[in-house]
Amino acid sequence: MDEDSNYAPSDELLSIDRSDNSNSEPRRRNREFNMKIDMNRNVKLKAGQKFNSHISFRKALKEWSIQNARDYKFVKIEKAKIIAICKVKDCTWRIYASPDQDKGKFVVKRYKLNHQYGRQYHNRKVSSRWIALKYLENFCDSPNWEASSLKQAVQREHYVFKSDAKAYRAKSIALKIILGDEAKQFTKLRKYALAILKANPGMVEIENKETWRWFLELLLDDIGSVEHMCWTFMSDQQKGLIEVFKEIMPGVDHQFCVRHLHNFKNVGYKGKTLKDLMWNSARANTLAEHNLHMKEIEKLEVVEFQWLKKLKTRLWCR
């Protein structure tokens, strides 16, 4: 039996041979779906719609499903033919697409428009990775955005209920995309240092404001603008470095390495107890937790506590 014969006659069933427009004027030619533009809009599906490939069609169908809170399942999925139906039993929503042999595009051949049921609030198409990519700019602007707030945003904007665990996974994926995998980044440091030495065998021996300016300007020439990358630059308190950061990269997040602070010779941080308290303060998730650990430091070493208090908290704490 031909797949097209599986569709019952209905005024709601559209095909590339027939439009829902009742007048006799020719239909406007269907524009090809643009993945870069149309995926960021309110995705609309219609008979005759063209896609670059079956993969593009599937991505658009998934996005439409999430935007409209309607889940579906495939009854046939292959390069030559894709048929999807509503997951709700007895719902007649259905879409059928296959290649256009003349132009090599993937085309929606049949489309049953309306659902017989309301929104579906447990759409499994909303994966942790989809959430991470959808809200990537939010995390870029606010890396500390709480997973609970992310969960509420997904529920409010997409009518989908997701677990706390999925929200936490989505946040983790987003931050890894933005900040990169820390372990992989550290494996590249030695190669980068060797590349610098190879290109500049006469490296400077004195670290001052001018040499740091020279180094950071070369770094920016290599990696490009960092204004919108949400990067954090980590360093010790080298002479002149802080001033240069403010001059050539204003607004970029710059923090001190806690290990270097602990070993700073002019302060004299010694002992595992003090070291652990300092790390606990730096890693604290809330200001109240940070202040609690700082009070412990004050009880242990007043001098070191006063020195830390002079530093801006954002320069060495989470």
**Cβ atoms of residues 112 and 10 within 8 Å:** yes
Q: Which of 84, 112, 140 is the last residue of a domain?
A: 112
Burial of 25 (0-12, 13-18, 19+ CB in 10 A): exposed
Residue 122 is assigned to a structural domain of this protein: no
List pLDDT tens digits, range 165-210. 889 999 999 988 887 766 677 677 777 777 777 776 666 666 788 8
Dist CA 132 CA 167 (whole Å): 9
CA atoms within 13 A on the CB side of 294: 19
Residue 119 is assigned to a structural domain of this protein: no
List pLDDT tens digits, range 26-52. 444 567 888 888 887 788 888 888 998
Q: Are residues 168 and 268 in the same domain?
A: no
Residue 205: other Cβ atoms inside 10 A: 6
Structure tokens at 140: 């870029």
Q: Are residues 137 and 71 in the same domain?
A: no
List pLDDT tens digits, range 80-100. 899 999 988 888 899 999 998
Residue 42: other Cβ atoms inside 10 A: 9
Task: Please state the rounded mean pLDDT for residues 213-234.
Answer: 76
Q: Are residues 282 and 214 in the same domain?
A: yes
What is the value of pTM for the model shown?
0.48
**Selection from 130, 159, 128, 135 nearest residue 149 by Cα:** 135
Structural domain for 164, as ranges: 128-179
Residue 117 is assigned to a structural domain of this protein: no
3-class secondary-structure state, position 62: helix
Residue 63 is assigned to a structural domain of this protein: yes
Structure tokens at 121: 């609030």
Task: Please state the rounded mean pLDDT for residues 14-22.
Answer: 49
pLDDT at 20 exceeding the cut of 80: no
Non-local (6+) Cβ contacts of 200 within 8 A are none
Q: Are residues 167 and 188 in the same domain?
A: no
pLDDT at 18 exceeding the cut of 60: no
Q: Are residues 60 and 140 in the same domain?
A: no
Burial of 19 (0-12, 13-18, 19+ CB in 10 A): middle
In the chain, the number of structural domains is 3
Residue 48 is assigned to a structural domain of this protein: yes
Q: At what angle do helices 164-179 and 147-158 cross, to 10 degrees?
A: 110
Q: Which of 112, 136, 161 is the last residue of a domain?
A: 112
